[in-house]
Amino acid sequence: MKTKTNVQQDISNLLAFTAAPPGAVDRLHRRLEEAAAGAGILDVAYTTIDTPIGTLLLAATERGLLRVAFETEGLDLVLDGLGRKFSPRILRSPKRLDPVAFEIDEYFARRRTAFDLALDFSLSSGFRLAVQKYLPQIAYGTTDSYKHVAALVGNPKAIRAVGTACATNPLPLVVPCHRVLRTNGELGGYLGGLAVKSALLKLEGAS
Amino acid sequence: MKVPFERVVAEHSATVLRVCRAVVGRHDADDAWSETFLAAMRTYPELPSSANVEAWLVTIAHRKAIDMIRKQRRIVSSMAIDTSSTVASPSSKNHELWNALQSLPDKQRHAVAYHYLGGLPYLEVAKILGGTPEASRRAAADGIRNLRKTYHDMEIQETSR
């Protein structure tokens, strides 16, 4: 016996048989990543990696690494910020971050003491940029003070501004703001939290 | 505020694929989807933040689909169509549904896809297809009626088998 089909039934039939087959959405996403990168419109590619200090978000432009973010910053908020400050043409696309993920793995395995990566400092400017560009010169396993860094970048009175430059470092870990402490040896501050800062110093054998 | 494009893809990917499958068919849907999202990503920074993102994507998909359908028809008209391959298998009912959807007049198929599968209100459907929202509503209703006729015919065939 046939009951009369209603429009709702027709719609659900339609929805059932036009539904995406399993795996289609992921496959198409990968295809979009490649096409966008090939067309030069993948302004920001990002991925997340698991490390001993938690999940990190890595984001890169065509020019280099743009942002390293800690999970505690809220990864969606970080991406929103990149969309606002840099470009909303952002895709999860791990491929561009492969070399970065590789070097960070080596760093945590104590097989790497310096990063050899192209960096994109587009998110920084002025005095902060000068400080952040200087920081990689503080060697692995050593520390420096906010005060000394201020003097080295040519503005000995700008101790607080050095603190701000470290706190707003878009590339923590790779640009080692964790190696900057107070003159009295106290940790100061850290975007990823003080526990992470001391864990990194311990890993490097500096504490 | 403009959300990262990744979130646009995550939110609308499956729906746009569904619309593409309905409009250009299963075999060309992936290409239509890819061209749609690539074109969308290209112009995304200029999209007003107040825009209806789903309607914007479906509008792009519609243009891509029209291009593809034109190409398909050029290819099909140059080939002899083989109808002897319609075998009665468990998937043949699904196959028939696809054929029914593909053989709807364009305007009906588009109206059904954009309203019922894409979830756009008739006001937005009419902006894509031209004409009034009422005409789009009628096209969608006619499309559903024609599809239902196909299901019904198939059910009769199956019960009389």
What pLDDT was estimated at residue B161? 53
Summarize pLDDT for A90-135 with one digit per residue, the tens: 999 999 999 999 999 999 999 999 999 999 999 999 999 999 999 9
ipTM greater than cut 0.85:
yes
Q: Is the CB of B6 less than 8 angstroms away from the CB of A84? A: no
A177 is catalytic: yes
Does residue B70 sit in the same domain as residue B11?
Answer: yes
- Nearest Cα to A80, choosing from B54, B46, B49, B39? B49
Distance CA B16, CA B19 (A): 5
Q: What is the number of domains present in chain B?
A: 2
Q: Of A19-23, A193-197, A199-203, B90-94, which gets the smallest average pLDDT?
A: B90-94
Active-site pick, A135, A166, A177, A196: A177
The residue ranges of every structural domain in chain A are: 27-108, 126-203
Q: Is the CB of A88 less than 8 angstroms away from the CB of B94? A: no
Does residue B90 sit in the same domain as residue B140?
Answer: yes
Does residue B30 sit in the same domain as residue B96?
Answer: no
Residue A157 phi, psi dihedral angles, 5° rounding: -85, -15
Distance CA A57, CA A93 (A): 12
In total, chain B counts a number of residues equal to 161
Higher local confidence (pLDDT), B152 or B48: B48
Q: Flag whether pLDDT at A138 surpasses 80.
A: yes
Q: Is the CB of A89 less than 8 angstroms away from the CB of B147? A: no
CATH code, B107: 1.10.10.10
- Nearest Cα to A192, choosing from A103, A108, A75? A75
Give the helix, strand, coil percentages of chain A, each rounded to 5.
45, 15, 40
- Residue B42 sits at the chain A interface (C-beta within 8 Å): yes
CA distance B119 to chain A (A): 11
Does residue B77 sit in the same domain as residue B138?
Answer: no
CATH code, B38: 1.10.1740.10
Summarize pLDDT for B83-137 with one digit per residue, the tens: 444 444 446 666 777 888 888 999 999 999 999 999 999 999 999 999 999 999 9
Task: Kindly state the percentage of chain B with pLDDT values over 90.
Answer: 62
Domain carrying residue B72: 1-81
Of B5, B42, B97, the CB nearest to A17: B97
DSSP string, B5-70: HHHHHHHHHHHHHHHHHHHH-HHHHHHHHHHHHHHHHHHGGGS-TTS-HHHHHHHHHHHHHHHHHH
Q: Of A69-83, A146-160, B38-52, B80-94, which gets the smallest average pLDDT?
A: B80-94
Q: Flag whether pLDDT at B78 surpasses 90.
A: no
What pLDDT was estimated at residue A1? 43
Q: Is the CB of A14 less than 8 angstroms away from the CB of B14? A: no
Distance CA A134, CA A149 (A): 8
Does residue B98 sit in the same domain as residue B139?
Answer: yes
CA distance A172 to chain B (A): 22
Does residue B98 sit in the same domain as residue B49?
Answer: no
- Closest-CA residue of B relative to A85 is B2
Q: Is the CB of B14 less than 8 angstroms away from the CB of A20? A: yes
Summarize pLDDT for B90-103 with one digit per residue, the tens: 466 667 778 888 88
What pLDDT was estimated at residue B83? 44
What pLDDT was estimated at residue B69? 82
Does residue B77 sit in the same domain as residue B91?
Answer: no
CATH number of A27-108: 3.30.160
Of A19, A24, A41, the CB nearest to B42: A41
Higher local confidence (pLDDT), B71 or B131: B131
Q: Given pLDDT bands bounded at 50, 70 and 90, which one contains residue B156?
A: low
Residues 51-80 of B with CB under 8 A from A: none
Q: Flag whether pLDDT at A4 surpasses 80.
A: no
- Residue B104 sits at the chain A interface (C-beta within 8 Å): no
Helices B133-159 and B122-129, packing angle to 10 deg: 100
Residue A37 tokens read as: 């990168």
The CATH class of the A126-203 domain is mainly alpha
